[in-house]
Amino acid sequence: METTMYDKLLQLPLFQGLCKSDFTNILEKVKLHFHKYNKGSRVVKQGDTCNQLIFILGGQIMSEAIDEGHLYVLNEILDSPSIIEPYSLFGMHTHYTASYWAATDIHVLSIDKSYILSQLTKYEIFNLNYLNMLSNRAQTVYYKLWNTHIGNTQEKIANFLQLRCSVPMGTKTLSIKMEDLAQLIDDTRINVSKILNDWQNKKLIKLSRKKIIINDLKALIENIDSNSPTEL
């Protein structure tokens, strides 16, 4: 059981590169909280204060981000091992940007912020991993924000999804009206409808009432080409 836990923790970007002795010292000195959540249980509520790092060691978790203007709801399925919003632990706004639910029975490890500051920050590799994680996210968001309304309709929809999704893998479900999506990307409803229907015909997405279901966002991005329908 311990070997499995070690292996899963060491797969996480925050702990990669740590030598076995340092990792053992961390496990001895840091208070670890283990939890099991049954399928359908809520782990974190959007807007709650983030005062710990939460690691998903087994199972799948579903995030649910509700737009402040209530124009859309974005659900994602995330595989383990993963970390819930490490970027929300520090900064001016230390609140979760989404709610998280157990999509299956899940095993969770959490570490309080006080132990992060008093123990984990003693290890240079942990600090570098954390800084790299935060920097990569900030750079990605910065690039995507600058390109939010640039390009044709399919590029703008794809960028909208990339900007809001945590990872390219896993099923995504965007609940939104076409006219609201058109407004958010500064385009027309007709263009948005044409692109979404074209993607559905290519089996890149599935459309249902006010919902866009994406099984593989990475594949969708890779399939964006000049063969999209003519835009108005």
Domains, the chain: 2-143 (2.60.120.10), 147-222 (1.10.10.10)
- Each residue's pLDDT tens digit in the chain (232 positions)? 444 667 777 778 888 888 888 888 888 888 889 999 999 999 999 999 999 999 999 999 999 999 978 789 999 999 988 899 999 999 999 999 999 999 999 999 999 999 999 999 999 999 999 999 999 888 877 776 766 667 899 999 998 998 888 888 878 999 999 999 999 999 999 999 999 999 999 999 999 989 999 988 988 988 875 455 555 5
Q: Is the dihedral of CA 213, 215, 218, 220 positive or negative?
A: negative
Question: From start to end of 85-181, where are the E strands?
Answer: 99-102, 106-112, 172-176
CA distance 66 to 75: 9
